[in-house]
């Protein structure tokens, strides 16, 4: 008889509870029973049934819980293992705890790892285990985490600790970003200067990329991984059920390699390893000589990394040098290539042919779709879901990593204490809303292998910063990829704060508690606004000056008035957060605004009150509070609900080209008494960051139109795309 996992599924008589179990990510099927297995700190297993490398790891894993995992004869073991070859899901497993012990049914190495990770998390005390039946399998085959080790370098020991945490959450791919403009991090024996020169930069930007004037840390910075170290890490990850996918960036993000070997670029000019962030014009020339170099590099990479897939980058490659380069132009002519996108496609196809001949597959960022996708390439969709959807429709395999859900270098909170980040806003709750197959017809869903969280490290200078940005957002990502976030968010955060945070503390992992901040629910009233404080978890209590609060009221004023509140979040007697909120009161506070141009869904706070909510966006921008529009013209109308005299109107704008946000170029302000007939009060270019009107005026309606550049200029990150326009509160005073 053919046995399948589906055939083996336990028959549940009890209704599945929506609440989270003790295990993260939540297993697909869980049934608690009244059994109890008493083991007094010692578990035994027939170690001949466990792959040799795995056993010491498991001993160490359980050892951290003060459990001795010891070998025993099969008949005497407290953990009974049974391998079932015909499970449908290669990573699925079943685990039962009964009065007489622990039964695990598994199929593959992966599935055995998963079963032990679940068992490890089930153990809440080192003496006994509550009865349970678990039958489990992941929703997605590819569950990845990416870490940029070029912008900042992390030691092998730090990476090991990070991989340990990934394994606990049943991630199975570590995408290792090894090369970029700011440092080449992997030893290549044929080209020693890649690491003797390319792994070191002589300066690093201090503060945010958009800050002017720029400041520099002039100390030498760098490091690299020897091939032996990389192989050791591959083995270390493999034991934990994780495959490492190396990334070698091409044709863009190549400055470090070109600093080592200038002849690889079109201009052949000597350049330094870059110490700032962004996109750079010095890219690999498309000539044969450079492609041969890259093939040599990939040959060594393939020897180190056994992964089926090799990441070849492909993102953000400016073509300005190619367009001026006789060697590139002659390749275009010889191969009848009409555009530089087609030249990039030619480049990637040539590399693909080489990699395929070695039995491997390439994966690249979604720009590899431009100019035509290489025949067997997988696509990693980062600029949105669109690239991935297009690739899936071409029947190519896809890993989804859209910035809006997967970029863990974005801010997770707008709180003033939040450390500097690149920009963007991705709180825990948003990660939990991620659907990697959203927008795809059923027939193409099977091409979506899964998804990945990306940790870019321009603003993450050490592993503690990486951990802080990763956790607990990685826990949410693990839930999405394992069980599609089936537990309601409120139950997930309840379990997270009650259980998983303690595991992170025990493991010495830094994490953010910003998901415990109150969410402000703004309600306008006659005199101003009330901010309801929404609880992220039931048990949380908010207080101000030792008094419990559920909301804060702010009154409208005719001059600017700042009001600061320190809101303490407690669970029991444990204080988890202190949030520092400043509200700005003025004449337009709580007055409705209608938008002719809608704010983008990513940066649309408080709907029609977004510009009058008394919450003023700070600089540097922390990904929220500001309203963001992806339009070159923005228009909205404030309704003061009665004829009102005022003397000053002020709207602040943001300029952060690194995040594709540009200060608008000009604006028009029009006033009306009836909302029908408008008179122009001011028409002006922007001087500095402020849209400003200072004149005694009277109106009920104020219409503002803001004009930005049509497109981001060439040579800038995001060139050719519509710039973002970001604006702050409409501050109106007498």
In the complex with Zn ion, the residue whose CB is nearer, 331 or 453, is 331
| Residues near 579 by beta carbon (within 8 Å), at least 6 away in sequence | 415, 517, 518, 566, 567, 568, 569
The listed partner (ligand ACM, Zn ion, none) that binds 429, CB under 5 to 8 Å by sort, is none
CB of 314 to ligand ACM, least distance (A): 9
- Other C-beta atoms closer than 10 Å to the C-beta of 28 total 19
In the complex with ligand ACM, the residue whose CB is nearer, 311 or 577, is 311
The listed partner (ligand ACM, Zn ion, none) that binds 328, CB under 5 to 8 Å by sort, is Zn ion
Query: Kind of pairing, strands 142-148 and 378-381?
Result: unpaired
In the complex with Zn ion, the residue whose CB is nearer, 280 or 626, is 280
The listed partner (Zn ion, ligand ACM, none) that binds 327, CB under 5 to 8 Å by sort, is Zn ion
CB of 310 to ligand ACM, least distance (A): 16
| Residues near 371 by beta carbon (within 8 Å), at least 6 away in sequence | 339, 340, 341, 342, 343, 344, 345, 346
- E-strand spans in 39-151? 42-45, 68-71, 79-83, 93-98, 101-106, 128-136, 142-148
Interface with ligand ACM in residues 63-82 (CB under 6 A): none
Q: Is the peptide bond before 620 cis (omega within 30 degrees of 0)?
A: yes
The listed partner (Zn ion, ligand ACM, none) that binds 382, CB under 5 to 8 Å by sort, is ligand ACM
- Asked if 507 and 164 count as a contact pair (C-beta separation under 8 A), the reply is yes
Interface with ligand ACM in residues 542-571 (CB under 6 A): none
Q: If binding is defined by CB under 6 A, does position 280 make contact with ligand ACM?
A: no
The listed partner (Zn ion, ligand ACM, none) that binds 362, CB under 5 to 8 Å by sort, is none
The listed partner (ligand ACM, Zn ion, none) that binds 122, CB under 5 to 8 Å by sort, is none
The 462-501 site mask, x for binding ligand ACM (CB under 6 A), equals ----------------------------------------
In the complex with ligand ACM, the residue whose CB is nearer, 112 or 422, is 422
Interface with ligand ACM in residues 235-274 (CB under 6 A): none
The listed partner (Zn ion, ligand ACM, none) that binds 325, CB under 5 to 8 Å by sort, is Zn ion
CB of 707 to Zn ion, least distance (A): 38
CB of 146 to ligand ACM, least distance (A): 9
User: Within 13 A of 268's CA, how many CA atoms are on the CB side?
Assistant: 7
CB of 731 to ligand ACM, least distance (A): 35
Query: Kind of pairing, strands 243-250 and 173-177?
Result: parallel
Residue among 243, 249, 316, 729 that touches ligand ACM (CB under 6 A): 316
- Degrees, nearest 5: CA angle 123-27-174: 90
In the complex with ligand ACM, the residue whose CB is nearer, 277 or 701, is 277
Q: If binding is defined by CB under 6 A, does position 277 make contact with ligand ACM?
A: no
| Closest residue to ligand ACM in the complex (CB) | 315
Give the catalytic positions in this structure: 180, 253, 316
- Asked if 161 and 67 count as a contact pair (C-beta separation under 8 A), the reply is no
Residue among 142, 176, 382, 432 that touches ligand ACM (CB under 6 A): 382
Kind plus residue range of the DSSP H or E element containing 476:
helix 473-483
Burial category of 85 from C-beta neighbours within 10 Å (exposed 0-12, middle 13-18, buried 19 and up): exposed
The listed partner (ligand ACM, Zn ion, none) that binds 285, CB under 5 to 8 Å by sort, is Zn ion
The listed partner (ligand ACM, Zn ion, none) that binds 134, CB under 5 to 8 Å by sort, is none
In the complex with ligand ACM, the residue whose CB is nearer, 114 or 345, is 345
CB of 367 to ligand ACM, least distance (A): 8
- Asked if 16 and 30 count as a contact pair (C-beta separation under 8 A), the reply is yes
In the complex with ligand ACM, the residue whose CB is nearer, 315 or 639, is 315
In the complex with Zn ion, the residue whose CB is nearer, 327 or 709, is 327
The listed partner (Zn ion, ligand ACM, none) that binds 316, CB under 5 to 8 Å by sort, is ligand ACM
Of residues 385, 374, 381, 376, the one with CA closest to residue 347: 374
In the complex with ligand ACM, the residue whose CB is nearer, 136 or 316, is 316
Query: Kind of pairing, strands 574-585 and 561-571?
Result: antiparallel
CA 662 from chain center: how many Å? 23
The 324-363 site mask, x for binding ligand ACM (CB under 6 A), equals ----------------------------------------
DSSP category for residue 499:
I
CB of 341 to ligand ACM, least distance (A): 17
- Asked if 641 and 524 count as a contact pair (C-beta separation under 8 A), the reply is no
CB of 332 to ligand ACM, least distance (A): 25
The listed partner (ligand ACM, Zn ion, none) that binds 266, CB under 5 to 8 Å by sort, is Zn ion
| HEC assignment per residue over 391-408 | HHHCCCCEEECCHHHHEC
CB of 249 to Zn ion, least distance (A): 17
- Asked if 450 and 481 count as a contact pair (C-beta separation under 8 A), the reply is yes
Binding residues for ligand ACM, rule CB under 6 A, total 4
Phi and psi at residue 384, to the nearest 5°? 165, -165
CB of 279 to ligand ACM, least distance (A): 8
CB of 266 to Zn ion, least distance (A): 3
Burial category of 714 from C-beta neighbours within 10 Å (exposed 0-12, middle 13-18, buried 19 and up): exposed
Q: What pairs with residue 80 in β-bridges?
A: 103
Of residues 357, 334, 358, 331, the one with CA closest to residue 344: 331
In the complex with ligand ACM, the residue whose CB is nearer, 316 or 652, is 316
Instruction: Determine the Cα–Cα distance for residues 190 and 297; give it in Å rounded to an integer.
Output: 8
Of residues 340, 351, 341, 401, the one with CA closest to residue 374: 351
Q: If binding is defined by CB under 6 A, does position 315 make contact with ligand ACM?
A: yes
In the complex with ligand ACM, the residue whose CB is nearer, 107 or 457, is 457
Residue among 209, 365, 408, 629 that touches ligand ACM (CB under 6 A): 365
Q: How far apart are the first and last CA of the chain?
A: 84
Q: Write out the residues near Zn ion by the rule CB under 5 A.
A: 266, 285, 325, 327-328
Positions in the binding site for ligand ACM (CB under 6 A): 315-316, 365, 382
């Amino acid at each position: 008889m053919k046995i399948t996992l589906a055939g083996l599924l336990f028959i549940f008589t009890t209704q599945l509870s929506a609440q989270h179990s003790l295990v993260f990510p939540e297993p697909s099927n869980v049934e608690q029973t009244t059994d109890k297995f008493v083991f007094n700190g010692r578990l035994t297993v027939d170690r001949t049934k466990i792959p040799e490398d795995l056993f010491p790891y498991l001993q160490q894993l359980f050892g951290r819980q003060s459990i001795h995992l010891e070998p025993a004869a099969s008949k005497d073991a407290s953990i009974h293992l049974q391998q079932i070859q015909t499970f449908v899901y290669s990573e699925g497993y079943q685990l039962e705890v009964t009065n007489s012990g622990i039964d695990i049914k598994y199929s593959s190495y992966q599935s055995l790892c998963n079963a032990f990770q679940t068992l490890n998390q089930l153990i809440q005390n080192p003496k006994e285990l509550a009865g349970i039946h678990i039958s489990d399998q992941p929703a997605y085959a590819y569950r990845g985490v990416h870490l940029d080790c070029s912008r900042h370098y992390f030691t092998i020991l730090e990476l090991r600790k990070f991989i340990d945490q990934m394994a606990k959450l049943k991630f199975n791919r570590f995408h290792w970003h090894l090369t970029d403009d700011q440092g080449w991090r992997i030893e290549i024996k044929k080209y020693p200067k890649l690491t003797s020169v390319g792994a070191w930069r002589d300066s690093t930007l201090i503060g945010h990329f958009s800050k002017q004037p720029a400041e520099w840390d002039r100390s030498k910075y760098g490091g690299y991984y020897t091939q032996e170290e990389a192989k050791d890490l591959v083995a270390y990850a493999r034991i934990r059920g994780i495959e490492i996918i190396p990334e070698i960036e091409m044709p863009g993000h190549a400055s470090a390699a070109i600093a080592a070997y200038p002849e690889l670029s079109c201009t052949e000019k000597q350049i330094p390893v870059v110490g700032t962030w962004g996109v750079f014009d010095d890219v690999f020339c498309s000539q044969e000589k450079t492609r041969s170099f890259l093939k040599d590099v990939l040959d060594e990479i393939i020897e180190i990394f056994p992964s089926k897939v090799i990441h070849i980058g492909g993102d953000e490659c400016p073509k300005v040098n190619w367009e001026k380069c006789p060697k590139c132009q002659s390749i275009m002519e010889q191969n009848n290539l009409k555009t530089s996108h087609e030249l990039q496609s030619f480049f990637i196809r040539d590399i693909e042919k080489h990699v395929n001949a070695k039995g491997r597959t390439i994966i690249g960022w979604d720009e590899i779709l431009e100019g035509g996708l290489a025949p067997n390439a997988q696509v990693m969709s980062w600029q949105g879901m669109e690239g991935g959807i297009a690739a899936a429709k071409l029947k190519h395999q896809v890993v989804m990593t859209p910035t809006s859900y997967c970029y863990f270098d974005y801010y997770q909170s707008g709180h003033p204490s939040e450390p500097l980040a690149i920009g963007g806003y991705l709180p825990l709750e948003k990660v939990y809303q991620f659907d990697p197959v959203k927008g795809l017809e059923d027939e193409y869903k099977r091409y979506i292998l899964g998804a990945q969280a990306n940790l870019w490290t321009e603003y993450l200078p050490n592993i503690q910063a990486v951990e802080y940005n990763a956790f607990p957002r990685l826990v949410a990502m693990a839930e999405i990829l394992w069980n599609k976030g089936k537990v309601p968010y409120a139950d997930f955060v309840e379990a997270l704060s009650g259980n998983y945070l303690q595991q992170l503390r025990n493991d010495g992992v830094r994490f953010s508690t910003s998901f415990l901040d109150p969410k402000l629910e703004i309600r306008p009233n006659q005199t101003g606004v009330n901010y309801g404080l929404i609880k992220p978890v039931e048990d949380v209590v908010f207080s101000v000056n030792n008094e419990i609060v559920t909301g804060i009221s702010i009154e409208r004023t005719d001059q600017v008035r700042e009001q600061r509140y320190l809101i303490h979040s407690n669970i029991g007697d444990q204080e988890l957060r202190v949030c520092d909120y400043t509200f700005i009161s003025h004449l337009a506070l709580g007055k409705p605004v209608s938008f002719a141009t809608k704010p983008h869904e990513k940066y649309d706070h408080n709907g029609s009150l977004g510009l009058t909510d008394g919450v003023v966006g700070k600089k540097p921008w922390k990904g929220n509070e500001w309203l963001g529009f992806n339009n070159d013209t923005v228009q909205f109308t404030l309704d003061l609900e009665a004829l009102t005299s005022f003397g000053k109107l002020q709207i602040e704008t943001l300029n952060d080209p690194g995040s594709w946000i540009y200060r608008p170029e000009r604006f028009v302000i029009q006033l009306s008494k009836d909302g029908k007939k408008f008179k122009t009060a001011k028409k002006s270019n922007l001087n500095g960051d402020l849209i400003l009107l200072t004149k005694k005026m009277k109106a009920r309606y104020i219409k503002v139109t803001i004009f930005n550049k049509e497109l981001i200029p060439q040579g800038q990150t995001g060139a050719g795309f519509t710039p973002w326009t970001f604006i702050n509160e409409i501050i109106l005073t007498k």
